Structure 1
Amino acid sequence: MMQNDLTQKILFNPLHAEVNELYILSAYATPNMLSWYMKNIYHKTTVPIRINLVVGMVPFDNLSVSIHEGFQNIVSSELPHEISSIKCSYVIDKPAEHANLFIWCKDGHPVTAFTGSANFVQSSFVGRHRNELMDICNPAEAMSYYESVVPRTVYCNHAEIEEYIILRPTHPVLDLECNLVNGLDEYDSVVLSLITKSGEPGTRSGLNWGQRKGREPNQAYIPLPSRIAKSGFFPLEKRHFTAITDDRHQLTLRVEQQNNKAITTPVRNSDLGEYFRNRLGLANGAYVTRADLDQYGRTDVKFVKLDDETFYMDFS
Structure 2
Amino acid sequence: MEIYSSLMGDNLAELVLHSPYPKGDRAGQELWAVTGYISPTAVLRALYQVKYAPTKRSGDAAGWGELSNFRPGRRTPKIHILVGMARDGAVSITTHEIFKKWVKASNGYIDVRYPDPRLSPLVHTKLYAWAQNGSFDIAYAGSANLSTDGLNIGRDASECQQENILVPVSVEYAKKYIDTLFDASLSCADPVVDSLFTFPEAPSDILANKSLPPVPPLPEPKSEREERLKDFPSVNLYLYSRQGKKSSSYNGAGINWGLRPNRSNKDEAYFGVPARVGVSNFFPLKNTPFTVYCDDGAELLMRVASGWRRSGKDMSTIHNGDLGTYIRKRMGLKPGTKVGIRELLDYGRTYVTITRTSEGNYYLDFSPETAEPDEFALQAPEIVNEFSHEDD
TM-score tier, shorter chain, comes to 0.7 to 0.9
Instruction: Identify the residue that residue 278 of structure 1 maps to in structure 2.
Output: 329
Cα 1:6–1:109 shift into 2, 3 Å: same
Residue type at the aligned position of 1:52: H
Instruction: Identify the residue that residue 168 of structure 2 maps to in structure 1.
Output: 135
Instruction: Identify the residue that residue 304 of structure 2 maps to in structure 1.
Output: 255
What is the CA distance between 1:14 and its match in structure 2?
Answer: 2.3
Cα 1:91–1:290 shift into 2, 3 Å: same
Normalised by the size of structure 1, how large is the TM-score? 0.74
Instruction: Identify the residue that residue 305 of structure 1 maps to in structure 2.
Output: 355
Q: After alignment, is 301-310 or 271-280 more displaced?
A: 301-310
Q: SS of the residue aligned with 1:124?
A: coil
Whether 2:102 is the aligned partner of 1:50: answer no
Q: SS of the residue aligned with 1:145?
A: helix
Instruction: Identify the residue that residue 141 of structure 2 maps to in structure 1.
Output: 116
| Equivalent pair of 1:49/1:85 in contact (CA under 8 Å) | yes
Whether 2:14 is the aligned partner of 1:8: answer yes
Distance of 1:295 and 1:305 partners within structure 2: 22
Whether 2:179 is the aligned partner of 1:147: answer yes
1:218-297 map, 5 Å? 218-230=267-279, 234-238=282-286, 242-258=291-307, 259=309, 260-266=312-318, 268-284=319-335, 286=336, 288-290=338-340, 293-294=343-344, 296-297=346-347
Distance of 2:314 and 2:101 partners within structure 1: 26
Q: SS of the residue aligned with 1:14?
A: coil
| Equivalent pair of 1:243/1:313 in contact (CA under 8 Å) | no
Cα 1:53–1:217 shift into 2, 3 Å: farther
Q: SS of the residue aligned with 1:148?
A: helix
What is the CA distance between 1:249 and its match in structure 2?
Answer: 2.2
Cα 1:214–1:52 shift into 2, 3 Å: farther
Distance of 2:91 and 2:298 partners within structure 1: 11
Which string of whole-angstrom CA distances, capped at 9 and with x for unpartnered residues, describes residues 133-158 of structure 1?
A: 321643x6534432332221122343
| Equivalent pair of 1:208/1:287 in contact (CA under 8 Å) | no
Whether 2:138 is the aligned partner of 1:87: answer no
Alignment RMSD = 4.2
Greater Rg, structure 1 or structure 2?
Answer: 2
Distance of 2:253 and 2:105 partners within structure 1: 26
| Equivalent pair of 2:291/2:362 in contact (CA under 8 Å) | yes
Cα 1:14–1:183 shift into 2, 3 Å: closer
| Equivalent pair of 1:48/1:84 in contact (CA under 8 Å) | no
What is the CA distance between 1:55 and its match in structure 2?
Answer: 1.5
Unaligned ranges ≥5, structure 1: none
What is the CA distance between 1:24 and its match in structure 2?
Answer: 1.4
Normalised by the size of structure 2, how large is the TM-score? 0.62
What is the CA distance between 1:99 and its match in structure 2?
Answer: 3.6
Distance of 1:86 and 1:307 partners within structure 2: 25
| Equivalent pair of 2:81/2:111 in contact (CA under 8 Å) | yes
Instruction: Identify the residue that residue 390 of structure 2 maps to in structure 1.
Output: none
Distance of 1:78 and 1:149 partners within structure 2: 19
Whether 2:114 is the aligned partner of 1:69: answer no
| Equivalent pair of 2:353/2:364 in contact (CA under 8 Å) | yes
| Equivalent pair of 1:65/1:176 in contact (CA under 8 Å) | no
Cα 1:151–1:79 shift into 2, 3 Å: closer
Cα 1:180–1:200 shift into 2, 3 Å: same
| Equivalent pair of 1:280/1:292 in contact (CA under 8 Å) | no
Instruction: Identify the residue that residue 171 of structure 1 maps to in structure 2.
Output: 207
Which string of whole-angstrom CA distances, capped at 9 and with x for unpartnered residues, describes residues 69-108 of structure 1?
A: 3243244259999x974221111333443443323344x4
Q: Matched residues, percent identical?
A: 19
Cα 1:269–1:18 shift into 2, 3 Å: farther
What is the CA distance between 1:226 and its match in structure 2?
Answer: 1.1
Instruction: Identify the residue that residue 156 of structure 1 maps to in structure 2.
Output: 188
Which string of whole-angstrom CA distances, capped at 9 and with x for unpartnered residues, describes residues 40-87 of structure 1?
A: 6268x743333221112457xx12453x53243244259999x97422
Residue type at the aligned position of 1:262: D
Unaligned ranges ≥5, structure 2: 5-9, 55-72, 210-219, 369-392
Instruction: Identify the residue that residue 130 of structure 2 maps to in structure 1.
Output: 104
Distance of 2:81 and 2:146 partners within structure 1: 9
Q: SS of the residue aligned with 2:149?
A: helix
Cα 1:297–1:26 shift into 2, 3 Å: closer
Distance of 1:103 and 1:219 partners within structure 2: 40
Distance of 2:30 and 2:325 partners within structure 1: 33
| Equivalent pair of 1:191/1:303 in contact (CA under 8 Å) | yes
Distance of 2:179 and 2:189 partners within structure 1: 20
Q: After alignment, is 146-155 or 181-190 more displaced?
A: 181-190
Residue type at the aligned position of 2:274: P
Instruction: Identify the residue that residue 385 of structure 2 maps to in structure 1.
Output: none
What is the CA distance between 1:236 and its match in structure 2?
Answer: 2.8
| Equivalent pair of 1:51/1:85 in contact (CA under 8 Å) | yes
What is the CA distance between 1:12 and its match in structure 2?
Answer: 1.6
